[in-house]
């Protein structure tokens, strides 16, 4: 039977059924009990967690067991250099920053110029590296605490990464890699090796501390296949298995099945968009609206299929009462899509203004964050 949807670290197609995905990947759902347990430590829940957008995990209860015993965890996430950082990329970072603040956790942030070169996003390795430096500005702008955050670019920190990558790579057979990632004869050796590189920061904090440190990875669920492999080798190498807390993949502006893509700017909101460009894209977004104003006033619209509503839910209506009111007035027909879009655009404009100011300031702050060999 053909797969109705595909989620791998390099490909997401079709309409993702997250219940099925959790089963396929063998991860756990975040349930009320776990949310309550997190809330006991954080006081409040981040809306992304409360709304089920961070929805799945591996070993989160173990992370909290250890934390409660005084064994603090470190955070690890990453990003492949991308010529357009969009709002969807920032979702896990924003959540990771919240975790950092609430748990005073150290954060390790990997930038994978090697990966994006091997996976053909860049013709030249130097171009991947240049974009990596530019992306770091967006990462810093999210507000990570410089005292608690280490950022490193793979090719600039490889001396530190390589010994661990070597040890991981020895324990992953080609047949495992093929089964997990679907590699065939056409893949290059870098692509096949890469998962060893992404595994390394799961163990780096333990090397750095000189003792085993629990590591929690906040990221999109598409990255789980890498960490499934990492978890298989971790104990054989003498480390803890990394834990994960996973988000759904934020949709693009052109419908819930659409994706934000740097090669198609109209599909999403990007960190460096001008206000004008952003407003134009939001005004062209796909909504759950009716064909005419009269119909919409009478029958209401459908937020469940609407990209604009999704943007509110992910990042632009953090207050639950506010989001509920947006939903109610949408369904009742009191709210028309044009007004709803301009309200969203106002909120996005405010977000981008702050982000872009911080991004400029970040140019002088690289030293506070960057590790290199
Ligand atoms: N593979 C990720 C990407 O394509 C980059 C990455 C490296 C990452 N390490 C990570 C993502 C850890 C999440 C968590 O962008």
- Distance in Å, CA 222 to ligand 1 centroid: 9
Q: How far is the CA of 201 from the centre of ligand 1 (A)?
A: 11
Q: What percent of the chain has pLDDT over 70?
A: 99
Asked whether the beta carbons of 216 and 268 are under 8 A apart, the reply is no
Q: How far is the CA of 247 from the centre of ligand 1 (A)?
A: 13
Contact 286, 255 (CB under 8 A): yes
> CA 216, CA 63: separation in Å to the nearest integer?
7
pLDDT on residue 84: 86
**DSSP single-letter state for residue 241:** P
* CB 9 less than 6 A from any atom of ligand 1: yes
From the CA of 77, how far away is ligand 1's center (Å)? 6
Of the pLDDT bands very low, low, confident and very high (cuts 50, 70, 90), residue 78 is: very high
pLDDT tens digits for range 107-124: 999 999 999 999 988 999
281 neighbors 269 (Cβ within 8 angstroms): yes
| CA nearest to 75, candidates 52, 54, 92, 51 | 92
258-302 pLDDT per residue, tens:
889 888 899 999 999 999 999 999 999 999 999 999 999 999 999
Q: Are the C-beta atoms of 171 and 199 separated by less than 8 Å?
A: no
Who contacts 330 (Cβ-Cβ below 8 Å, separation ≥6)?
288, 300, 301, 302, 303, 306, 309, 340
Is the CB of 115 inside a 6 Å radius of any atom of ligand 1? yes
Residue 3 confidence (pLDDT): 73
Is any ligand 1 atom within 6 A of the Cβ of residue 151? Answer: no
Per-residue model confidence (pLDDT) at position 81: 96
Distance CA 108, CA 168 (A): 18
For the chain, the 3-state helix, strand and coil shares in percent, each to the nearest 5, are 55, 15, 30
pLDDT higher than 80, residue 221: yes
Check pocket membership of 82 for ligand 1, CB cut-off 6 A. Answer: no
Region label for 76, one of left (φ > 0), alpha (ψ between -120 and 50) or beta (otherwise): beta
- Averaged pLDDT score across all residues of the chain: 96
The pLDDT assigned to 234 comes to: 98
The CA 91 to ligand 1 mean position distance, Å, reads 13
Q: How many CB atoms lie within 10 A of CB 14?
A: 12
Tell whether the model's pLDDT for residue 361 goes beyond 70.
Answer: yes
Best residue among 88, 121, 131, 226 to mutate for probing ligand 1's pocket (most ligand atoms within 8 Å of CB) is 226
Q: Between 163 and 1, name the one with better pLDDT.
A: 163
Residue 237 above 90 pLDDT?
A: yes
Ligand 1 mean position, distance from CA 223 (Å) = 7
Look up tokens 């309200």; give the residue. 343
Percent of the chain topping pLDDT 90: 94
Per-residue model confidence (pLDDT) at position 2 = 59
At 1 the pLDDT is 53
Q: Is the model's pLDDT at 371 over the cut of 70?
A: yes
| Token output for 124 | 């030249």
DSSP 288: S
pLDDT in tens, 122-181: 999 999 999 999 999 999 999 999 999 999 999 999 999 999 999 999 999 999 999 999
Once rounded to an integer, what is the mean pLDDT over residues 223-230? Answer: 98
Max CA distance (Å), the chain: 67
- Indicate if ligand 1 lies below 6 Å from the C-beta of 77: yes
Indicate which residue's Cα is closest to atom 5 of ligand 1: 79
- Distance (Å, whole) CA 325 – CA 259: 27
Q: Which of 9, 57, 79 to mutate to test the pocket of ligand 1 (most atoms within 8 A of CB)?
A: 79
pLDDT at res. 274: 98
Our answer on whether the CB atom of 198 is closer than 6 Å to any ligand 1 atom is yes
- Identify the pLDDT of residue 100: 98
Residues paired with residue 150 on neighbouring β-strands, in sequence order: 108
Interval between CA 202 and ligand 1 midpoint (Å): 12
The b-or-e profile of 337-366 (16+ CB within 10 A means b, else e) is beebbebbbebbbebbeebbebbeebeeee
Cβ proximity of 56 and 227 under 8 Å: no
Task: Check if 219 has its Cβ closer than 6 Å to any atom of ligand 1.
Answer: yes
Which atom of ligand 1 is least distant from the CA of 80? 15
Whole-angstrom distance, CA of residue 181 vs CA of residue 177: 6
Res 340: pLDDT:
98
| pTM for this entry | 0.97
| Of residues 69 and 120, more confidently modeled | 69
**Residue 88 in contact with ligand 1 by CB distance below 6 A:** no
Q: How far is the centre of ligand 1, averaged over its atoms, from the C-alpha of 303 (Å)?
A: 31
11 band by pLDDT with thresholds 50, 70 and 90: confident
> What confidence tens digit (pLDDT) does each residue in 322-347 have?
999 999 999 999 999 999 999 999 99
Ligand 1 atom 7: residue of nearest CA = 78
């Amino acid at each position: 039977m053909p797969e109705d949807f595909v989620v791998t670290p390099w490909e997401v197609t079709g309409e993702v059924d997250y219940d099925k995905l959790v089963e396929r990947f063998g991860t756990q759902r975040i349930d009320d009990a776990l949310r309550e347990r997190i809330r006991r430590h954080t006081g409040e829940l981040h809306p992304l967690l409360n709304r089920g957008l961070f929805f799945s995990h591996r070993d989160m209860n173990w992370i909290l067991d250890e934390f409660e015993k005084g064994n603090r965890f470190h955070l690890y996430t990453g990003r492949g250099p991308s010529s357009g950082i969009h709002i969807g990329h920032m979702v896990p970072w924003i959540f990771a920053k919240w975790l950092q603040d609430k748990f005073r956790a150290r954060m390790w942030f990997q930038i994978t110029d090697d990966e994006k070169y091997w996976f053909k996003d860049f013709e030249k390795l130097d171009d991947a590296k240049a974009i990596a430096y530019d992306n770091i500005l967006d990462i810093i702008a999210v507000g990570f605490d410089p005292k608690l955050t280490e950022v490193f670019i793979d090719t600039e920190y490889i001396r530190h990464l390589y010994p661990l990558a070597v040890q991981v790579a020895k324990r992953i057979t080609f047949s495992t890699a093929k089964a997990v990632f679907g590699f065939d004869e056409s893949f290059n050796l870098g692509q096949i090796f890469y998962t060893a590189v992404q595994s390394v920061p799961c163990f780096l904090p333990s090397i750095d501390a000189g003792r085993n440190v629990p590591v929690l990875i906040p990221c999109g669920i598409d990255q789980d296949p890498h960490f499934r492999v990492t978890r298989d080798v971790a104990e054989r190498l003498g480390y803890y298995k990394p834990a994960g807390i996973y988000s759904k993949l934020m949709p693009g502006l052109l419908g819930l099945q659409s994706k934000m893509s740097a090669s198609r700017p109209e599909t999403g909101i990007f960190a460096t968009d001008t206000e004008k460009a952003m407003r134009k894209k939001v005004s062209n977004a796909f909504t759950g609206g009716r064909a005419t104003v009269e119909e919409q006033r009478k029958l209401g619209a459908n937020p469940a299929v609407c990209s604009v509503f999704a943007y509110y839910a992910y990042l632009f209506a953090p207050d639950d009462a506010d989001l509920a009111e947006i939903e109610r007035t949408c369904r009742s027909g009191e709210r028309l899509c044009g007004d709803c879009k301009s309200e969203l655009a106002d909120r996005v404009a405010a977000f981008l203004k702050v982000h872009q100011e911080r991004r400029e300031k970040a140019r002088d702050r690289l030293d506070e964050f960057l590790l290199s060999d």
